[in-house]
Structure 1
Amino acid sequence: MRRVLSSLLAVFASTLLLHGADAPPYRTDADGPSNKKVLKPDGKPLEWFQLVDGQFPPEGSGHAISGELIRNEHPLRTFRIRVDRDDSQDRGVWDLPLEAEMLPYGAIWYHGSYAALCDIPLGTHLRGVFYQRAPEDKTPPPDGAFRRGITPDVAFRRCFRIEDDFSFDARQKQLWKIETVDLAENKLTARLQQDGKPVGEPKTFEVTKATRVMQGSGFAKLEAIQPGQEVLFDLTWATLYGPGRITDLWLDADARALATAQQRERNQLYVRDHGLPAWVSAVDDEQETVTVTLFSNVDPALFADLKLDAPVPKGMPPDTKTEPQANLFVAEPNLMTYDPTNDRKGGNILERTTIPAAPGSSGVQLKVKCSMMLEGYRPRRIVLVQPATWIYRTLPIEEQLFGRE
């Protein structure tokens, strides 16, 4: 009996060590699969971190989920993935959909750069970090095929980051080293490399005649794939019939750099058309100023345009002195605007300050003098910031909230 009691005390002590004062007071992926309960030392369930309105989440507090993109509504920044199979799941919950929405500061990555959902083809395998739905969110779960159930991760409806395999591996500075390739059997075996050292066991992927192969500044034939090459690739059908089917394969550093550069240009154009997302941190109605915190889900190189002097107004002498200016568009958490032509005001950028960066926050704050204070300029509300040097264009009607009510 004494031995059993000692064993129980040892287990209890190890639990205290795992969830003690130095451990986060919420559950993380380190605590095991999301479909298994985890208890605190007092016997109560250890809950996942719940997002707080107007605050950025702590590092490492989200839940990792991966799956294939099967639907998206890019103007609303909502999507569905077919969740990957893994060893923690019962067969009855394999291949079920998860519906999620991007957080206003949530980042989308494709080919190693920032992206919009419309950039990513359906069928692309994605990896993401998610948080549980808001308590007031009563959205019904999507039906699985033949109404056969819901995924255990159904509550994780808010997405902090979503990215393709290219971006996921590149962000961690990892490459796949090809060990064997058999085009007759449509098989490619590769092992993940980190700092030139192998990680894990080799995996065998499917490569087909439809696989796009990039080398240097152009396309290459399948025969260009050779053992010893260090590559990146994107997948589809991951975990259905093995690790997945390769849709796109980049054979060298030049090809990967070109893909990233092209995606960066594409996204910078998108952001210039839509604006830099931010939320309102402070408002001074008497001074008619709005302080905003810019999010980190866009290329920070774009922030340099906030320092540029505004164009000289038409009819004014060319040597007229101007200052940096910006317009603030009232937006919803999905970053859509109702009537962007009228729901925007702005003026001189009075201050640009740096605050400590956090997950989702760029660490850049602006104080803008507004010509008129709009109803949407309230703390914790979302705005889109457009430097005065950017050309304003009316967005396509499907990207506006007007008419969707």
Structure 2
Amino acid sequence: MWLLDGDFGCVVPCRWFFAFRFRSRVCLFLLATWVMLMSAASSQPPALKTKERATTRRELSTKNQEPGRQEPFRPKPDEFAPLERAHRYRGELVFVDRANRRGSLRIDGAGRFRFAGPSPFALLPYAVVRYHGAPADLRDIPLGTVLHVWAFLPPEPRISSVPVLPANNRTKKLGYAGTGTAPAENHVLLMEDEVSYCRRTKQTWRLKEIDVSNNQGSIVAARLPRESSQGQSIAEDVTMTFDAATRIWRGREFLNVQDLIDEGIWPASGKKIANGQAVQLGIVWKPTPSGVFTRFHISDIWLDEPAMLRAARRQTETHRTFMRSRWIPARVDRLEYGEFGSAKVTAT
């Protein structure tokens, strides 16, 4: 059936006319419904709507929180963070962006170390870096060095230079790497190598057994307080490897494994009981024999205190030279202008 359209002067099928009328009625119905809903929403008091939105946000923010659980500590941008509130972990330095004071660590967690991926970190403006028991910069620390780290959540997550992770990320298990290998606390307050950590906390490594084969082998040792005796040892014994490239320092002497073998201090082959000799160790990571990937490697051995003091003195002079040419980072607290272009700056 066909109908004549008077407006356009043409003949159209009848089903087109009825379809147009049906769609027009549907549109009018939807428009009327929308107007009624908007009228009802506008009649609600603004204070009630604000209260409902606040309640909804509060419910969402506390949905996954346990009763009585405190919020994680996050340092304020304009204050020095306390060391005792920091999260501590240890890992291998695998990447350094020294110009921007950033880098990455492979963190030693509760799983297999070889499966741990790099975790980015950034130094806080007032962060302290120590190497060989002396102040240092990131450029002074070789890649592969095992570092002790104390870090916080990002003070300002919106402008963080490294990824911002969930606050409980350190409790999540990441495959075979286990837990603790990707903490959200990636803004570092203190970073130091093994020697710096032991000297700051007044600890030493006590050698218990040495196993030598072809100028390489392993050492069994335990980290103990400096004043304690071997009989008071409650620390767990740790097995670490060494090789012909391991540097040995004694007083002003620079030795290697073969020198100690020639002097009869270490055996040419086989095991020897070390009787708790107190030393300081520089620890790094490298692939170890027999498929053991969680065993750390000894890069340096300091046999006495004079040797350790010389190493600290060398690093101190290195850092001083760097500071003289690059200056020291500081925060400007107050600026007082005087006459004829002079000014007084108070900085921290």
Does the alignment reach a TM-score above 0.5?
A: yes
**How far apart in 1 are the matches of 2:186 and 2:198?**
24
CA contact (8 A) 1:38 1:46 kept: no
SS in 2 for 1:85: coil
Q: CA contact under 8 A between 2:113 and 2:293: conserved in structure 1?
A: no
CA offsets per residue over residues 78-116 of structure 1, 9 Å max, x none?
Answer: 111111132xx5x69941211111111101100000001
Of residues 203, 217, 221 in structure 2, which corresponds to 1:190? 221
User: Where does 1:332-343 land on structure 2 (aligned, <5 Å)?
Assistant: none
Displacement, 1:140?
4.1
> In the alignment, which residue of structure 2 is the partner of 1:54?
78
What are the within-5 Å matches in structure 2 for residues 250-399 of structure 1? 250-285=302-337, 289-294=343-348
Aligned to 1:155: 184
2:300 matched to which residue of 1? 248
Q: Distance in 1 between matches of 2:285 and 2:71?
A: 32
Unmatched tracts of structure 1, length 5 or more = 1-36, 295-405
What corresponds to 2:26 in structure 1?
A: none
Map of 1:214 onto structure 2: 249
Displacement of 1:259 in angstroms is: 0.4
1:165 partnered with 2:194 = yes
Secondary structure (helix, strand or coil) at the match of 2:158 reads coil
Deviating runs (4+, > 6 A) in structure 1? Answer: 148-151
**Equivalent of 2:284 in 236, 239, 261:** 236
Q: Distance in 2 between the 1:237 and 1:257 partners?
A: 24
Report the identity percentage. 27
Q: Tell me the number of residue pairs that the alignment of Structure 1 and Structure 2 aligns.
A: 249
Distance 1:162 1:222, change over 3 A: same
TM-score of the superposed pair, with normalisation by structure 2: 0.64
Q: Does 1:136 align with 2:158?
A: yes
Report the CA distance shift for 1:290/1:69 in structure 2 as closer, same or farther (over 3 A). same
1:274 Cα shift?
Answer: 1.5
Tell me which residue corresponds to 2:141. Answer: 120
User: 1:346 maps to what in 2?
Assistant: none
1:230 Cα deviation after fit: 1.0
> How many angstroms apart in 1 are the aligned matches of 2:338 and 2:254?
60
User: 1:213·1:222 contact (CA, 8 Å) conserved in 2?
Assistant: yes
Aligned mate of 1:178, from 197, 200, 207: 207
Alignment-mate amino acid for residue 272 of structure 1:
R
Write the letter of the residue equivalent to 1:280: V
Show structure 2 runs of 5+ residues with no match: 1-63, 166-173, 267-273
- Does the aligned pair in 1 maintain the 2:109–2:178 contact within 8 Å? no
The correspondence for 1:110, drawn from 131, 153, 167, is 131
Q: Match of 1:299? A: none
1:4 alignment partner in structure 2? none
Give the TM-score of the pair, scaled to structure 1. Answer: 0.55
Q: Post-superposition shift, 1:137?
A: 3.7
Contact 1:178/1:189, CA 8 A, preserved across alignment: yes
Q: Compute the displacement of 1:48 (Å).
A: 2.4
1:151 shift after superposition = 6.6
Q: CA deviation at 1:49?
A: 1.4
**C-alpha contact (below 8 Å) 1:235/1:247 kept by paired residues:** yes
Range 236-245 or range 249-258, more displaced: 236-245
State the one-letter code of the partner of 1:211: T
